[in-house]
Structure 1
Amino acid sequence: MAIWGKGLRAKSIWALLLACILAFIPAVGIGWQLLSGIQEHFGRAYADNFTRLNRQHILVPLTRELALAERFAGSVLTRRWLAGDADAALFIQEAEGVAADFSSHSWFLINADSRDYYYHAPDQPFDARPSYRLDADRADDQWFFNLMRDNERLNINVNHDRRLGTTRVWINVRVEERGRVLGLAGTGIDLTRFINDFIAIQRQGVMPMILDRNGRYQAHPDASLIALGSAAGMSGEAATLHERLGSVEQGTRFSELLAQVAASPDGIAMDWFTLDGRRQLLAVGYIPELDWYLTTAVDLGLAQVLEPRLVQAALFGLVLMLAVLLLGLAYAVERAVLRPLRRLQGSATAIADGSYEVSLPAPSGDEIGDLSRAFGVMVDKVRSHTAELEQKVQSRTRELEQANRKMRQAHQQINDSIDYASLIQKAILPDRQLTQVLGEHHFVLWHPRDVVGGDFYLFQPGEQGRFLVGVVDCAGHGVAGALMTMLGRAALDHAVRELGMASPAAILQLADHTLRGMLRNCELPRGLATTMDAGLVFVDPPAGQLVFAGAKMSLYCSDAESVEEHKGQRRSLLDRRPGQFEDQRLPVHHGQVYYLTTDGYLDQAGGAKGFGLGGSRFRELLRTHAGLPLAEQAEALKRELDQYRGGHAQRDDITLLAFRMDAHLQGVTDARHRPAVDTRAV
């Protein structure tokens, strides 16, 4: 009685009984495999019979045409005509009778010596004059000369005659007289009629075709695949069935199939291949009289080898039985298992929505009843744990809000410090001195990549209009670069105080020595760059010259017609090995503009490929805009850089300083004729 009780075990037994009923499903699979085997068996038998019948269907009429062509070629009148001894009227009468025997009512004749081509058809009567003459240099006539070189007496060639305007299956028979080749004789079967009679069939999934020994198509329902002239050595780049099979392994197997059937012409060889992306059965028969391979491709997925009504009835019966069994199983599972479980699911959904006051299914004596009672216990525990978890979440939320508040305060302090550092850095830049001394005859483009940067410029005025101007590029960006500018500015100011302004090279040399002393005992992080590129220019208007020294930085000069670049030394300040800097003395030219720039302008990425601006493009910009007032030059050079950069980010700090000497020199000259003034006020 336990088996038929209300427990889940009894219900499992019922499910097992249903599963046993469903066990016949593997039998369905086995039956389907058996049906597939039967279909393949009948498919092979169909392919074999179809290929044999089609071979006979082709061979019988072609054998007749071959016999007539050989009789025409062996005729005494034909040989005498080709030898030039026959009476024209008599041969014309003979030719008319021969034409009536051929199925196409046409024949051709070629003289090997004169290469004259005679053709007779119902619409082209024979009048003893050649239709045209073959030319050894003409590509379309090579088939004839190829056949003359071969020793084959009989040849069947599918070819298109452009001058006759016809494509035919040509039967070529060699005409000989006592070992001497007099020419060729034969007939032609219209290719379209040949395909419609022997190849084209109205059966889905079955495709007959004719191949030569190399796999080239001699006849196919798709005439574009036919290798015209291949039997006479004119195949060119014609496709083969081996290539359409798509793999070397399949091509090799098909070649073995051709060899097998050629060794046993009475038999039919067949195998499975993938053709045109589908698995198809290829049956091959050989016609030795024509040296043709008759091939039939059968796609069992499309060809109706078995009676469709029988297969449909069997499938319908199986589907109906399966549907009944599935409905029975679904009803049993619904009543025994799913309905109680759905009630539990509703309770679980309510708990998921936050409602713990749920009604559980009525208790029962089976395993689902036990599950319901366990579910009730779980609900109580979830309610308790949820309340405890909510308290912890509130506590953690308060702690997180406090931590976020402290983080925002720290972040604000850091931003305020960086903004303050930016103000300090801008304050040490000599903008006011530059404006007082050079006025509108200078401009500075200073664009740090971050709030603070590693570039700075300096200006030191002197007596009688002399001044020192320079640009420095410290390695690094942001706060690290800004701190390096403090060191660099201090070292350069110290060098100017000690040595004066007259020798920029000496200033760079002393600054390099001072910086090395500052950092000698510092433990710097590995990989931190501390080098500085610099360019200093001392302008001496009374002497009419300027002195330039650079550490990996160049001085550019432009008069709006050309640009000169005076390169500095190849080593930076604080390089691994100390460099030796040299002064370059240059004459001051009226109208020239002098430029100092960091590599941030030259290396800025942009353009279509994201390359750097580069020195050559920078010099062209200077030459183009050097004739403008300096304020307009600054706007133009900034605009050109922004256009080139496009959507690319700024790579480095950018500093470009320029000055023109005309006004300044004029001011010095005027000062010589005015009473002396206090230069310290300037």
Structure 2
Amino acid sequence: MANRWGLRGQSTLTLLLACLLALIPALLIGWQAIDDVRHHFATRYAEQYTLLHMQKILAPVSRELALARRFADSVVTREWLATPDDAQRRDRFFREAEGFREQFSGDAYFVVDDASGDYFYNDADSPDSRHPRYRLSPDDPEDAWYFSTMDSSASYNINVNIDGKLGLAKVWINVKVQEDGRGLGMAGGGLDLSRFLDDFLRDNAPGLTPMIIDSRGAIQAHPDRQRLAFNSGAQTRLAGDTPRIQSLLGDAAQRERLEDAMLAARRRPGEVHSLEATLEGQPRLLSVGYIPELQWLFVSALDLKSAPVFEGRWFWTLVVALTLVLAILMAGFAYGTERLILGPIRRLQHSARAIADGDYGSHLPTERDDEIGELSRAFAHMAGQVERHTQELEEQVRRRTRDLEATNAEMVTARRQIDASLEYASIIQRAILPSRQLDMHLAGHQAVLWRPRDQVGGDFYVFRATEAGYLMGVIDCAGHGVPGSLMTMLARAIIDNAILHVGAHDPAAILNETDRQNRATLNRETLPSSIATNMDVGLVWVEHGGDCLTFAGAKMSLYASDGERLEVQPGGKRALGQKRSMTHENHRLPLRQGWTYTLCSDGFLDQAGGEHGFGFGNRRFEAMLQRHADAPLDDQIAAFEAELDAYRGEHPQRDDITLLCFRFDRPPKAASHDAIPPSST
């Protein structure tokens, strides 16, 4: 029997029998739970339908409202309505209004001159008509919408109305035009009522009747146009015969519950509140949501008998029943599977494990005639193939291992040579830094943070002491690592040469001469466009005994703070060596006693960190300087490093970082020893 049916037939027969055993109780339990389940999901369906249609309505009407408010608030509109007899302003208004007409969805606009009562309406059929369609009168009941709106405190309203004089039914958007609190008139546009109802309310959802009402219950939109409360949006008080949703409910208790749901929806926009009521004699589930931007309420009336989805209080009973059914099904299937499938496969598994351990002579159960037997025979053939391929692969692995070991030895040797070269370059680069000269001349008055991203970097700082004073600064060359370090050597030589030409007392002249020599030395036309040769520089000159300092910068600012105040003197907007050059100028600033002055490369400001990986940023940097400005300079540097590392976290250092700060408690004096020669920077 087992051989004739095969493995697939035996498994299918076992599963079929288990399903038949579990199906009868499942049907009995499901029949009892289906009605309540249907009710639950019908409620959720109505709520989701309400939320979806609120969003569908909000987008186009909000757009029309925003456009109408821009139209009414336009300077051209207000100027013309303030002086309607000015022909030039009138002509300007109608030219601009044509642009607004093309943007309105209804391809039309209207404007009312409050002084004369003239009503202008232009659409695609009369795009540039400059004659009023009619004149509004407070004695005409059809014009009450205008005067009621102008007398109200609201700046706009959305009014569903049929303009009998124009013969148009629209969702009108009426916006007051005001100048210094004085009403000049009204302007706006309108959505075609039939199209609005077709787009948003007549979607033939099974069992659902959507409606739009205002905060008083007046029906603004309904699939049946006879239900609309025309002109209610512009009325401050509703007439007794105005169609309201409250009049469609069965009794006073239901009307009170609806009022409570409307109030709750207005208090919590975005939430949908549901209640059961009798609408026009039929039981319905009402879902109410509020659109605050339009001051409209969206109401969905759902016929529970026609709901396409369902829900109920027997949900957990149904879950338990289904679990029981599945348990019975799985128990029957597990028994049959164990007998017919898992037992033979387990024996095949033991043989396969022996083969995995290297015993390719292990016996496989190949005596069966079904799929298990075929699998065993195929597995035995595969085991022989694996044995042959394993032996070949082992020989290849041994050969490749020998090759990899030789290659790895060569890479280790090359790596050692590279590391030695970088270490040597780092020693050379550190040798050009004037740390010894700074300590000799400004001991206790300066501190430096120099942290290259790699072993070598593209940042360095300079110092020059003369008989007249001190020149100090920070230079940030393009690039980092080995390319950046090469740029620092070239930049150092160019700056030294510039100081020899113009002197140390004129930072701006040094920058301009450095820029000139940099362009002359590095011909950009012969370099690839991907190679940057620009430099950010900040230089400060401090005279002996003086109370002022001279600063010039190229894309680098000078910061000064006493802990309570922070002043920033920005440098020039372009770096040295950029495609477009500029002439840099000196800035004379007071050298205040006890204030800390700081120059910093952009590596500190651009360092990524924090929760979102953003840069450290100017605002955080300036707050840090001000917070630590009155601390000893070495303590400031330590605090800056700690704050930067804490912000950086696990992020890698992005760029080279150099920060130079100095402070004088009294006017600076010349050092007691001779100034170092000009070549010592």
TM-score w.r.t. the length of structure 2 is: 0.51
Question: Against the structure 1 CA distance between its residues 499 and 624, is the aligned structure 2 distance closer, same or farther, given a 3 Å change threshold?
Answer: same
Aligned to 1:484: 487
Aligned to 1:512: 515
| Cα displacement (A) at 1:473 | 1.3
Question: Against the structure 1 CA distance between its residues 247 and 639, is the aligned structure 2 distance closer, same or farther, given a 3 Å change threshold?
Answer: closer
Contact 2:551 2:558 in 1 (8 A): yes
Q: Which amino acid aligns with 1:597?
A: C
Contact 2:544 2:670 in 1 (8 A): no
Aligned to 1:537: 540
Task: Give distance in 1, aligned partners of 2:641 and 2:15.
Answer: 82
Aligned to 2:139: none
Question: Against the structure 1 CA distance between its residues 596 and 324, is the aligned structure 2 distance closer, same or farther, given a 3 Å change threshold?
Answer: closer
| SS at structure 2 position matched to 1:426 | helix
| SS at structure 2 position matched to 1:440 | coil
1:561-587: CA deviations, max 9, x gaps?
Answer: 644433322211012201111123446
1:478-537: CA deviations, max 9, x gaps?
Answer: 333222222221221221223322322222112112222333156555554432110122
Contact 2:593 2:667 in 1 (8 A): no
Contact 2:465 2:676 in 1 (8 A): no
| Cα displacement (A) at 1:213 | 11
Cα RMSD after superposing both structures: 5.5
| SS at structure 1 position matched to 2:362 | coil
1:376-420: CA deviations, max 9, x gaps?
Answer: 554444322222221112222222333333333333333333332
Aligned to 2:5: 12
Aligned to 1:404: 408
Aligned to 2:446: 442
Structural mapping, 1:349-368, within 5 Å? 349-360=353-364
| Cα displacement (A) at 1:449 | 2.8
Contact 1:272 1:279 in 2 (8 A): no
| SS at structure 2 position matched to 1:580 | coil
Question: Against the structure 1 CA distance between its residues 247 and 278, is the aligned structure 2 distance closer, same or farther, given a 3 Å change threshold?
Answer: farther
Contact 2:538 2:557 in 1 (8 A): yes
Greater shift, 443-452 or 422-431, is seen at: 443-452
Q: Which amino acid aligns with 2:386?
A: V
Aligned to 1:571: 574
Aligned to 2:79: none
Structure 2 residue 312 is matched with structure 1 residue 278: yes
Aligned to 1:582: 585
1:276-319: CA deviations, max 9, x gaps?
Answer: 82299xxxxxxxxxxxxxxxxxx9989xxxxxxxxxxxx99xx9
| Cα displacement (A) at 1:474 | 1.8
Aligned to 2:597: 594
Contact 2:603 2:657 in 1 (8 A): yes
Task: Give distance in 1, aligned partners of 2:627 and 2:33.
Answer: 84
Question: Against the structure 1 CA distance between its residues 409 and 678, is the aligned structure 2 distance closer, same or farther, given a 3 Å change threshold?
Answer: closer
Contact 2:537 2:554 in 1 (8 A): yes
Q: Which amino acid aligns with 1:507?
A: I
Q: Which amino acid aligns with 1:446?
A: W
Question: Against the structure 1 CA distance between its residues 446 and 362, is the aligned structure 2 distance closer, same or farther, given a 3 Å change threshold?
Answer: closer
Contact 2:360 2:387 in 1 (8 A): yes
Question: Against the structure 1 CA distance between its residues 237 and 647, is the aligned structure 2 distance closer, same or farther, given a 3 Å change threshold?
Answer: farther
| SS at structure 2 position matched to 1:506 | helix
Contact 2:249 2:278 in 1 (8 A): no
Of 245, 253, 271, the residue aligned with 1:230 is: 253
Question: Against the structure 1 CA distance between its residues 510 and 356, is the aligned structure 2 distance closer, same or farther, given a 3 Å change threshold?
Answer: same
Task: Give distance in 1, aligned partners of 2:629 and 2:373.
Answer: 95
| Cα displacement (A) at 1:440 | 2.5
Question: Against the structure 1 CA distance between its residues 474 and 328, is the aligned structure 2 distance closer, same or farther, given a 3 Å change threshold?
Answer: closer
1:92-151: CA deviations, max 9, x gaps?
Answer: xxxxxxxxxxxxxxxxxxxxxxxxxxxxxxxxxxxxxxxxxxxxxxxxxxxxxxxxxxxx
Contact 1:250 1:273 in 2 (8 A): no
Aligned to 2:469: 466
| Cα displacement (A) at 1:428 | 0.9
Contact 1:448 1:454 in 2 (8 A): yes
Task: Give distance in 2, aligned partners of 1:659 and 1:230.
Answer: 80
Gaps of 5+ in 2: 36-245, 266-270, 285-302, 319-323
Q: Which amino acid aligns with 1:596?
A: L
Aligned to 1:494: 497
Task: Give distance in 2, aligned partners of 1:278 and 1:524.
Answer: 76
Aligned to 2:399: 395
Aligned to 2:458: 454
Structural mapping, 1:605-616, within 5 Å? 614-615=617-618
| SS at structure 1 position matched to 2:443 | helix
1:207-227: CA deviations, max 9, x gaps?
Answer: xxxxx99788x9xxxxxxxxx
Contact 1:491 1:515 in 2 (8 A): yes
Aligned to 1:423: 427
Q: Which amino acid aligns with 1:277?
A: E
| Cα displacement (A) at 1:325 | 10
Aligned to 1:111: none
| Cα displacement (A) at 1:599 | 2.7
Contact 2:366 2:374 in 1 (8 A): no
1:583-641: CA deviations, max 9, x gaps?
Answer: 23446555554332223334455677766555555555555555554434444444555
Q: Which amino acid aligns with 1:652?
A: D
Aligned to 2:389: 385
Greater shift, 644-653 or 247-256, is seen at: 247-256
Aligned to 1:414: 418
Q: Which amino acid aligns with 1:420?
A: Y
Task: Give distance in 2, aligned partners of 1:22 and 1:541.
Answer: 100
Q: Which amino acid aligns with 1:491?
A: I
Structure 2 residue 675 is matched with structure 1 residue 652: no
Question: Against the structure 1 CA distance between its residues 472 and 323, is the aligned structure 2 distance closer, same or farther, given a 3 Å change threshold?
Answer: closer
**Of the two structures, which has the highest relative contact order with CA contacts closer than 8 Å and spacing of 6 or more?**
2
Aligned to 2:78: none
Q: Which amino acid aligns with 2:661?
A: A
Contact 1:441 1:663 in 2 (8 A): no
Contact 2:597 2:663 in 1 (8 A): yes
Task: Give distance in 2, aligned partners of 1:300 and 1:667.
Answer: 90
Task: Give distance in 2, aligned partners of 1:341 and 1:678.
Answer: 92
Contact 2:548 2:590 in 1 (8 A): yes
| SS at structure 2 position matched to 1:443 | strand
Contact 1:273 1:279 in 2 (8 A): no
Question: Against the structure 1 CA distance between its residues 350 and 496, is the aligned structure 2 distance closer, same or farther, given a 3 Å change threshold?
Answer: same
Aligned length: 439
Aligned to 1:162: none
| SS at structure 1 position matched to 2:449 | strand
